[in-house]
Every structure is written in C-alpha cells, then in structure tokens.
Amino acid sequence: DVVMTQTPVSLSVSLGGQVSISCRSSQSLVHNNGNTYLSWYLQKPGQSPQLLIYKVSNRFSGISDRFSGSGSGTDFTLKISRVEPDDLGVYYCGQGTQYPFTFGSGTKLEIK
C-alpha cells in the first residue's frame, strides 16, 4: 500500500498569513496513464471532507485561488495564502493512483 506522510501535524497561523502543508508518498503517484492522482481535502469541524485540489494542482469547482497545489512524483505541497477564518479544520492529502486509496494522517490548521 502507498503510505502518505503529511507534515506538520498542526499549524497555527494569523489571519491573512500563508501556510504550507507537505505530503510525501512512499511510491511515485504517477499513474500508467501519465496522470498523478494526488488530491487535497479539507474537513471543517463537524463536516464531511471536501475536495480542494485534484491531480496535484487543479482547484476543484468553487475553490478559492488562495489554495494552490504543487509537486510531482512523491513530494507534494498545499499552500494557503491570505488565510481566512473559514479555512480552519483538518487538511488531508490522498492518493488515487492505485488501490487501496490512501490518505495522509491530516494537518490541523488553527487560527491564532
């Protein structure tokens, strides 16, 4: 199984600030078809996870351009700029390149 390692475990940021979350996979996430199925999700308190970024850097419909994804192979990053109160929650990376799909352990974002 592909192990997804996320760092840091938690982050505290001031409103308007910028943060980065790292996600590393134990194997390359490049699929045979050339796509890299690395996604980022946000789970707000008391809610289901929601998709933010898919295939490394593509923002899902309706997602603010304050969220950006980058990376390749086994190393990926989510950046959040101009942090807003509604951004708080737990961020997960997840891979859909091979079964079983696997997720990172999460990064909790707190607002100072």
Q: How far is the CB of 18 from other proteins (least distance, A)?
A: 24
Is 64 among the residues that bind other proteins (CB under 8 A)? Answer: no
* Residue whose C-alpha is closest to residue 67's, from 44, 43, 42: 42
Contacts 24+ apart (CB under 8 A), 64-73: 67/40, 69/38, 69/40, 71/23, 71/38, 72/30, 72/36, 73/28, 73/29, 73/30, 73/36
Q: Which is nearer to other proteins, 69 or 94 (CB)?
A: 94
Is 85 among the residues that bind other proteins (CB under 8 A)? Answer: no
Is 96 among the residues that bind other proteins (CB under 8 A)? Answer: yes
For 63, residues 6+ apart whose C-beta sits below 8 A from its C-beta are 51, 52, 53
Q: How far is the CB of 105 from other proteins (least distance, A)?
A: 5
Site string for other proteins, 24-63 (x = CB under 8 A): ---------------x-x------xxxx--x-----xx--
Angle at 89 between CA 37 and CA 72, to 5 degrees: 25
Q: How far is the CB of 16 from other proteins (least distance, A)?
A: 28
Residue ranges that bind other proteins, judged by CB under 8 A: 39, 41, 48-51, 54, 60-61, 92, 94, 96, 99-106
